[in-house]
Structure 1
């Protein structure tokens, strides 16, 4: 990185329109500028609204486009900056300075385009804001260079060597450069002063405009001023003619004050016109000349304030034939070669003209000098701070006065060390004065409350400017973070990204926290300073508040639809904060392609996808998790069955429309939270399994069957596991069983039934819970998914029963329509096979018997004791219905079901514990009666009933039902 160019050596360029950085725009910068211009120049010549609404909305749209473009360019620049290096790494500092150059150039391009549309007061305010941002990035860059390890090391070397190299014939330039090389703090002060002078030159109105009122009162007319106090000069000449004097008018002439006085107040006029005549003679000038004199001294102040070159100042006063004023502001010494046009010539000359500094100091204390600007000029020349402040009107004016005085003090301290060295050659080491940071911070703290600058501090970026020059970044960033939280919760914008706080926060901080340009600057500056090691203490004690600034900016990006930038800034958060912030936003991303893009970007920035996915789940289900943890008593879930509606002896049936309907917004958000688990890795599969089971448990406890249906469809174990770990964990074996489905219209052998799998013996207890078992192989991952799979199987069974019931109800409603009956029967056969398939897992003796702890064990037991009886009773109703509508063979299956329940302790216990045994006995009794009735009236057309265990002719009995039964006729 090239060293910073010092204005102390080369002077300030006359052309104030050129860039502050000497490096030319990179090709990417030129392309960026072209994009800005192209966006701002787009027009629709055929639009009929160009002269009305379009003209009104165009500036707003252009501003929004520029802001959007700037945001993207800042993100690109930040993305290229590698921050994970030690603060002592020289390459880190070089890259940091390049990054700040980039930020400044981005702001300059926006400034250029914005200034072109500077047509109204609102746009002018925006232009000033953009200009200040561009200038601030340049100031930060230069100040950081002064604090870089290379600069500090060079200064340390200079402190030990440069003073020793000076001698009694060393010139002012040599002294000045040795001083700056040896004093890093002085370099910073000089940098800030140069910046303040540049700002004044670029943003202040022309001097003539500022002095318009005084010039009008001085009655000098248009154009170049007339030379000096011409009205007083006329009065003096008149006295000399009246008294026939050939020499100067003597102030001691008797009775001179009677005739030589002002008309208005009769005060004595000066008799001679040297610069200090008024003080020396205790007399005045004519009123017009007084106004001229005020304008002249204010001009001197403005010239110093704007850092004008010696050539500019000399030319100005030469035109007005008052070159002596140029001699005053330069320090009463001859030109200094290459330093002749330096704004620091007045300070350099203090080394060889200490008497001039003392004289200026004496004049600041002279009560006869009443003009504020005259005293302020003397104060600037000698470094007298309090007197100079009397002419300061703005924050920048006050900062100029402060840093000017501090720089002069440090230079005079160096001059003293130099003079001491001349008398003591062994004193070659220079020890700079301590930094006056406390004094600077005192003013920065008072500025927001002082009447003259209070309103100015409310302007965007002004508080940041005070922070930069006072280096009070810790206080500023923490205050902004607290304000960001308060603003977010007061406005509702970004409140989901941070928690509220009630700490005292200044109004200025709140204003800045609401300005998105300020937030953007704060975030990028904070990230840079942290990388350079400046904010360690703040991050240690106030990390959450510091990261609120980043979260606030992320919230703004979310509102602006800049989702592709979220992972970049999310990666700058701590590992604890990152999942919560990104999770609160990504929960609302529903498009699969956008999710894939977010995951790709998060991987690019080394963000743990599993942590973010869990953060999404946690934020969406905090209340659910807390309810489960604090649940002292398991509420009884609602039933899925209702009594049959035909006769008093009818079987139970599934509640109509059990799982139909629209899912609520809240439930939809909950389900979306687990859809993100398709992006996790095998190492974190245990968290996935636990999370999904939490939702199943709560939905089952609440009887939220609509949400259960959505959860089953959108977050099935098969889909999530295939996407996440590349394996279908519904199957613990290497390959899933072969698909043996039949076509929709393919007729099945109604008399041949695949028997229900016999009950398996209860396994021995496992030594550890599935979720804590180590390993990522198929068997281990499937083992971790055990409870998830079983709860999913339970819900799938309920869903299949609901589908069958809907078909049965449709068939019942269309009994008189043969075509509809045939269609419904085909659907019923397929649905029947589905029901039989999904019911098989529920007959496993180990079903819902694996709990992580006692609390989960109680909950799973409650769910098993409630839903297993419900599903079996509903399944029996399905077989009962199929025995009447499809084939009487299914009535035999009802009796097989009764035998299965009797032989399975888990099922039997569920009926006993759930208090449903009476209903079960009644249901099987109805099954037996229906089988007897169906057999009696089967006739010669009845096919032989077949089963795997032999012929079932024993069920053909001769009992006959009283009354006609026509259900079998539909077969």
Structure 2
């Protein structure tokens, strides 16, 4: 159905009018923004959406298993299932591709619609009309590509959607500022231009120009007529049964009551009468009867003879009469032109029916193609209205189509409904009556003007929206049409014609919530308290095409100001419709389209929705595209990223704020013999399967790479909080994932262009020693002390203004230190794994050499990773009170664990690499004693006893190593000088009582 541009004469669009539709600013950016958006939508995501739809919406596990069995099994037997897998999946793939392409096409057109204009700006309305025309064109293309062997229901559904876009476009045209302004001007002048010789055409034109509401009704009537003409079967096919019963035969075009006429002629021949048969003639009622029931036949054949004579026609003529009146109804219902109606009945030699349908008024050549001739002529033939009303209510007329035709001609809605079978039929009868009522009101004003020439202004009647809404409500509850109201898109049509937008979109928003929580799809984005809705809305909310229509119509009407009041009171429910469609886009994998629709949500809702959805985006390329689109839509990217993190970790974040935090598990277990009892890191501490919850949690902070320098503090808080969560949970597998995928160096470089892992603004200087020094087993490089200690921060790091390197580094302080702690645990785990491999292969010289080389590398990594943990300020500069408590718990638990594990590393290295590492154990003891943070961690963590035991074992090992020194032993050296200070004579007298050392 092509868009209808109102013609004041013909009521439907001319081709020239359609081709001249406004483009205005709507197309200004077509070669720019549209191309940019098109580039962002790649075919890969369409394929992903298709696969997702097939695998999640269509469930065929048993069938597919059977198909694969018959396709791939050994001997190939002829089977009805053989080679059918492709045949089954191909239409599903095509459907998924079609859905994905259509969603993209709608998004592209919506993206070009600039809503940042006043609702009184005519260019905004022009662009909205163009947008609706393009939506209609998209649907028309889909209809043309839909296979002819698809179900009639699917074809009718697509056709109705196309027509709905046309209807929405034409109704908006009737409400545009330009149309309303022109109507107000016409109300003050057009009536004054009319005179007593004005034609019906001039009168009709002036009426429509002066009444914007009448233009709406005419638009709806035209749309209903065109719909009936396009979707209803031909009249000949519709009346096939009645035609057969009338026994006219094929190709016989003469009509009228020919069988009754033959009976009348028979009576005249029998009675030898040349004059018309007299109904009162004696004996006529006894002989001139219908054989089937002996009822008196009419004696004369004028159109109202049956009523006037209280007689009947022959059965065949009765069927013909029924078919004729039904044909008249269908002609009016389909909006056939006066010329077509005249030609039809002229061929059947019953032109009087055409004269009746055009109200026996003037013949206007310029109205030959108009369906409104029957209404125009009411101006000069008011008696016909009264006559039609009388006939419509005459109890002697029993044929419902005949009554309905009279009801249409006089504008009687109650009688017109007698022939109505569908919702569109009922709406046609209603709007026909409303249009005639308004026209008669104008005619009365015109007649008053003829008697009072000074009365040139016209005031139209108020609109009948309340009456229409009551009618629509009655149609939805009527048993005859209730089932039809459940057909997808039908409720959208009724909302459009009744302009009951507020109630409709509100009901659909609540239905969207109901469906989301009933199906479990997208429920996390919608509050369940909005889930009350009616059955019809729920049916449409489950239909993806209906949901797409609803959301795009809603966005257009919102931009034009139609929904201001309902948005003010029910914003959340109204936005449910947009959220529901966003969830659909997510389900088909079209993540790139989501920012466009999210930008139409309120800020908080957009953050919540995008936070729920974007956590599922895995590919960095797709994230880059989505971020680009979010920036294009001016979405608050930092807040959205914060929303992604919060929603993915909401439960854990709440636990983190609890006063009684759980005690983290240990990373070490006892190892060695009773005599040399040392701790060791738990085997495979940081290896294992990654749960879905952990994957989502880590993925939620991967988005931090897209924040800017102004929002860097929020990103640092997110990552730091996740480190704390994993540390308190003792989820070391998750800790490894976070360490590998969200490093401060990489994320800060991507976000702010600086590597904030170096707090002083300079990277650490790597050891430039030669290879011999690195391989010297007895040369021990001392642990680097921390950089210069800073004074306590004067203000909260995350609220400190500025984007310079130092400020951003301060904001990253906790992140950096927690990452250093995780790195230390990771390197300890790697060293333990290497040490275990070395011990297991001590008898294999080849492998032993390899593992010993790996052990040295792992040892260097451990010493580098442990160094930051020995700083007195490590995890000692909290950002607030809550942070202070959390860091203290982490520090008092993990610092002793790491120090004890590191001591075990040095002890092991002293036995398997070089005795010099045993000296480092003593240096470590001295370090723990000198640094208050380390001492307090052991004391508050109640680990001092274990520390003393460990250092006692180290001392014994060192003394034993010194006893083994001799002429060939290498001299132990350190950077601070010789280790002679530790050389004492030791004679073992028996086992050491380690408990006594406590």
Q: TM-score, normalised by structure 2?
A: 0.90
Equivalent in the alignment of 2:593: 565
Tell me whether 1:821 sits opposite 2:854 in the alignment: no
Equivalent in the alignment of 1:880: 907
Contact 1:678–1:720 at 8 Å: present in 2 too?
A: yes
Alpha-carbon shift at residue 295 of structure 1 (Å): 0.8
Equivalent in the alignment of 1:633: 660
Bigger Cα displacement from structure 2, 607-616 vs 53-62: 53-62
Contact 1:760–1:845 at 8 Å: present in 2 too?
A: no
Alpha-carbon shift at residue 961 of structure 1 (Å): 4.8
Contact 1:484–1:552 at 8 Å: present in 2 too?
A: yes
Equivalent in the alignment of 2:540: 512
Offset from partner CA, 1:867-917 (integer Å, 9 cap, x none): 111111111111111112121111111111111111111111111111111
Residues 518 and 303 of structure 1: is their aligned pair in 2 closer, same or farther, counting only changes over 3 Å? same
Tell me whether 1:851 sits opposite 2:878 in the alignment: yes
Within a 5 Å distance, the mapping from 1:590-601 to structure 2 comes to 590-601=618-629
Residues 950 and 458 of structure 1: is their aligned pair in 2 closer, same or farther, counting only changes over 3 Å? same
Within 2, Cα distance between the matches of 1:13 and 1:865? 81
Within a 5 Å distance, the mapping from 1:3-402 to structure 2 comes to 5-6=5-6, 8-10=8-10, 21-22=18-19, 61-114=93-146, 117-119=147-149, 123-402=151-430
Residues 768 and 62 of structure 1: is their aligned pair in 2 closer, same or farther, counting only changes over 3 Å? closer
Alpha-carbon shift at residue 736 of structure 1 (Å): 1.1
Secondary structure of 2:384's aligned partner: helix
Alpha-carbon shift at residue 811 of structure 1 (Å): 1.6
Within 2, Cα distance between the matches of 1:753 and 1:52? 71
* Root mean square deviation, CA, Å: 2.7
Residues 217 and 238 of structure 1: is their aligned pair in 2 closer, same or farther, counting only changes over 3 Å? same
Within a 5 Å distance, the mapping from 1:699-848 to structure 2 comes to 699-740=726-767, 747-757=774-784, 764-848=791-875
Equivalent in the alignment of 2:986: 959
Equivalent in the alignment of 2:689: 662
Within 1, Cα distance between the matches of 2:476 and 2:124? 35
Contact 2:129–2:169 at 8 Å: present in 1 too?
A: yes
Offset from partner CA, 1:157-186 (integer Å, 9 cap, x none): 001111111111111111111100000000
Contact 2:495–2:504 at 8 Å: present in 1 too?
A: yes
Alpha-carbon shift at residue 751 of structure 1 (Å): 3.6
Within 2, Cα distance between the matches of 1:434 and 1:24? 30
Offset from partner CA, 1:765-784 (integer Å, 9 cap, x none): 33322112111111111101
Residues 62 and 861 of structure 1: is their aligned pair in 2 closer, same or farther, counting only changes over 3 Å? closer
Equivalent in the alignment of 1:968: none
Within a 5 Å distance, the mapping from 1:897-936 to structure 2 comes to 897-936=924-963
Alpha-carbon shift at residue 59 of structure 1 (Å): 5.2
Secondary structure of 1:504's aligned partner: coil
Contact 2:472–2:494 at 8 Å: present in 1 too?
A: yes
Residues 437 and 538 of structure 1: is their aligned pair in 2 closer, same or farther, counting only changes over 3 Å? same
Within 1, Cα distance between the matches of 2:142 and 2:462? 40
Within 2, Cα distance between the matches of 1:278 and 1:51? 69
Equivalent in the alignment of 1:860: 887
Secondary structure of 1:639's aligned partner: coil
State which of 710, 721, 724 in structure 2 corresponds to 1:683: 710
Within 2, Cα distance between the matches of 1:833 and 1:590? 35
Secondary structure of 1:652's aligned partner: strand
Tell me whether 1:472 sits opposite 2:500 in the alignment: yes
Contact 2:3–2:166 at 8 Å: present in 1 too?
A: no
Equivalent in the alignment of 1:967: none
Alpha-carbon shift at residue 207 of structure 1 (Å): 0.8
Within a 5 Å distance, the mapping from 1:433-452 to structure 2 comes to 433-452=461-480
Tell me whether 1:481 sits opposite 2:509 in the alignment: yes
Within 1, Cα distance between the matches of 2:476 and 2:105? 32
Bigger Cα displacement from structure 2, 713-722 vs 3-12: 3-12
Offset from partner CA, 1:17-54 (integer Å, 9 cap, x none): x999456999999xx9xxxxxx9xxxxxxx99999776
Alpha-carbon shift at residue 72 of structure 1 (Å): 2.2
Secondary structure of 1:447's aligned partner: helix
Equivalent in the alignment of 1:644: 671
Contact 1:901–1:907 at 8 Å: present in 2 too?
A: yes
Within 2, Cα distance between the matches of 1:286 and 1:758? 118
Equivalent in the alignment of 2:995: none
Equivalent in the alignment of 1:36: none
Alpha-carbon shift at residue 956 of structure 1 (Å): 2.8
Within 2, Cα distance between the matches of 1:512 and 1:6? 31
Residues 653 and 67 of structure 1: is their aligned pair in 2 closer, same or farther, counting only changes over 3 Å? closer
Alpha-carbon shift at residue 741 of structure 1 (Å): 6.9
Within 1, Cα distance between the matches of 2:92 and 2:976? 83
Within 1, Cα distance between the matches of 2:538 and 2:772? 71
Residues 371 and 741 of structure 1: is their aligned pair in 2 closer, same or farther, counting only changes over 3 Å? farther
Within 1, Cα distance between the matches of 2:958 and 2:89? 80
Residues 878 and 682 of structure 1: is their aligned pair in 2 closer, same or farther, counting only changes over 3 Å? same
Contact 1:224–1:319 at 8 Å: present in 2 too?
A: no
Alpha-carbon shift at residue 395 of structure 1 (Å): 0.4
Within 2, Cα distance between the matches of 1:589 and 1:129? 33
Within 2, Cα distance between the matches of 1:397 and 1:464? 16
Within 1, Cα distance between the matches of 2:763 and 2:328? 91
Contact 1:8–1:344 at 8 Å: present in 2 too?
A: no
Q: TM-score, normalised by structure 1?
A: 0.93
Contact 1:8–1:343 at 8 Å: present in 2 too?
A: no
Equivalent in the alignment of 1:939: 966
Within a 5 Å distance, the mapping from 1:384-423 to structure 2 comes to 384-423=412-451
Bigger Cα displacement from structure 2, 74-83 vs 942-951: 942-951
Alpha-carbon shift at residue 373 of structure 1 (Å): 0.8
State which of 567, 578, 588 in structure 2 corresponds to 1:550: 578
Residues 261 and 53 of structure 1: is their aligned pair in 2 closer, same or farther, counting only changes over 3 Å? farther
Alpha-carbon shift at residue 277 of structure 1 (Å): 1.0
Secondary structure of 2:151's aligned partner: helix
Secondary structure of 1:576's aligned partner: helix
Equivalent in the alignment of 2:52: none
**Structure 2 gap ranges (5+):** 32-37, 39-46, 48-70, 72-77, 992-998
Within 1, Cα distance between the matches of 2:746 and 2:990? 53
Contact 1:944–1:953 at 8 Å: present in 2 too?
A: no
Within 1, Cα distance between the matches of 2:575 and 2:130? 24
Would you say how many aligned residue pairs link Structure 1 and Structure 2? 941
Contact 2:4–2:12 at 8 Å: present in 1 too?
A: no
Residues 51 and 454 of structure 1: is their aligned pair in 2 closer, same or farther, counting only changes over 3 Å? farther
Offset from partner CA, 1:267-288 (integer Å, 9 cap, x none): 2111111111111111111111
Contact 2:257–2:317 at 8 Å: present in 1 too?
A: yes
Contact 2:530–2:573 at 8 Å: present in 1 too?
A: no
Alpha-carbon shift at residue 561 of structure 1 (Å): 2.2
Contact 2:516–2:522 at 8 Å: present in 1 too?
A: yes
Bigger Cα displacement from structure 2, 49-58 vs 828-837: 49-58
Within 1, Cα distance between the matches of 2:453 and 2:787? 102
Alpha-carbon shift at residue 74 of structure 1 (Å): 1.4
Within 1, Cα distance between the matches of 2:553 and 2:384? 43
Residues 405 and 743 of structure 1: is their aligned pair in 2 closer, same or farther, counting only changes over 3 Å? farther
Contact 2:325–2:402 at 8 Å: present in 1 too?
A: yes
